Amino acid sequence: MTGDPDIPPFFEVSDLRQTLGGHEVLRGVSLVVPQGLTTVILGGSGAGKSVLLRHLNGLMKPQSGTVRVQGVDLGPLSENDLRPIRRRIGVLFQDGALFDSMSVGDNVAFPLREQGERDRGAIARRVDEVLTLVGLKGQEHKRPDTLSGGMRKRVSLARAMAARPDCLLYDEPTAGLDPILSENITRLIGDLKTEFHLTSVMVTHHLGAMRTVADQVIFLKDGVVRYAGSPGGLDRSADPAIREFLAADAMGIS
Ligand SMILES: Nc1ncnc2c1ncn2[C@@H]1O[C@H](COP(=O)(O)OP(=O)(O)O)[C@@H](O)[C@H]1O
Ligand SMILES: [Mg+2]
């Protein structure tokens, strides 16, 4: 699925290369993330998925190649110039990255305060709204370290949504969750897309999560895009690397 041809893509990555620790982690990655759809970046451990995701909001700068957000090349931008772009992009990191010294409410309010929101009533209302959205209404006063893994993911999701981003980036949102929690969080991510028309990019090694949410799937191996297209097309791919990945998943060893 390529999205509406009249709407410019949200992200456009072209010939992106990145070397880390002497190892070429991304070897000429090009991809397009259509606006309003969910793109899943699928691949095994060490494929370069997290490194790629970090380029999308300018956390990492390309060694060569370009990353464009709604037509704007991030490469030449200073940290100051990147700030307004990052505000439009919510991020859910792999480990959740919650502040355990702060209450759930303060964690969720963090991006609002960072953007200069000072109206305590408005902050409290928005915190209540997004916690309700993720099924955690009334949990503001809890401490994150007293919550289960699944609840922590929900708090992270609420925090990523708090400042009403246009786009959400997810890094392995189902990692460390049992199959039922994993399915719950994936469904929630799917619901958010449908309800708010968010552009989403989800990095995962989890085929089930991909199937639940993907409009478009990009399969990455050793820093190279081996497939970009519909989830159904991935199943029909003859690429041995993809066949192997699908077979490993079917045997529950991915
Ligand atoms: N900061 C870094 N310094 C050196 N090597 C790194 C760094 N970050 C990632 N790598 C390496 O890059 C490769 C891809 O990493 P990553 O994007 O995290 O993979 P994954 O697909 O599992 O998310 C791995 O071999 C990893 O060891
Ligand atoms: Mg990763």
Cβ(44)–Cβ(254) under 8 Å? yes
In angstroms, the CA 206 to CA 74 distance is 29
- Which pLDDT score, from 0 to 100, does residue 25 have? 98
Ligand 1 pocket by C-beta < 6 Å: which residues? 20-21, 23, 25, 43, 45-51
Closest atom of ligand 1 to CA, residue 94: 23
Among the bound ligands, name the one nearest to the CA of residue 51. 1
Would you call 166 exposed, middle or buried from its count of C-beta atoms within 10 A (0-12, 13-18, 19+)? middle
Output the residue whose Cα is nearest ligand 1's atom 12: 25
For the chain, strand residue ranges (E) read: 11-20, 23-33, 38-42, 64-69, 72-73, 89-92, 167-171, 199-204, 216-221, 224-229
Q: What is the pTM of this model?
A: 0.92
Within 88-170, residue ranges assigned H as helices are 104-114, 120-133, 149-162
The whole-angstrom separation of Cα 154 and Cα 175 is: 13
Mutate which of 17, 20, 95 to test ligand 1's pocket (most atoms within 8 Å of Cβ)?
Answer: 20
Distance 48 CA to ligand 1 centre (A): 6
- Residue 120's pLDDT is 96
Task: Please give the single-letter amino acid code of residue 72.
Answer: V
Domain 1-88+166-254 is found in CATH 3.40.50.300: yes
**Cross-sheet strand order for the sheet of 199-204:** 89-92, 167-171, 199-204, 38-42, 216-221, 224-229
Residue ranges of the domains in the chain? Answer: 1-88+166-254, 94-164
Q: How many other β-carbons are positioned within 10 Å of the β-carbon of residue 172? A: 20
* pLDDT computed for residue 182 by the predictor: 85
Residues with pLDDT less than 70, the chain: 1-5, 95-96, 253-254
Q: Ligand 2 center to residue 198 CA distance, Å?
A: 22
The 3-state DSSP composition of the chain as helix, strand, coil percent (nearest 5) reads 40, 25, 35
Q: For 90-142, what is each residue's pLDDT tens digit? A: 998 876 689 999 999 999 999 999 888 999 999 999 999 999 988 899 999 99
Nearest CA to ligand 1 atom 16: 48
Closest atom of ligand 1 to CA, residue 52? 17
Q: How far apart are CA 61 and CA 82, in angstroms?
A: 11
CA 76 – ligand 2 centroid, Å:
26
Tell me, what's the pLDDT at 194?
A: 81
Separation of CA 6 and ligand 1 centre (Å): 36
Give the pair of three-digit tokens for residue 11.
Answer: 């992200």
Residue with CA nearest ligand 1 atom 14: 48
Q: Which atom of ligand 1 is nearest to the CA of 43?
A: 21
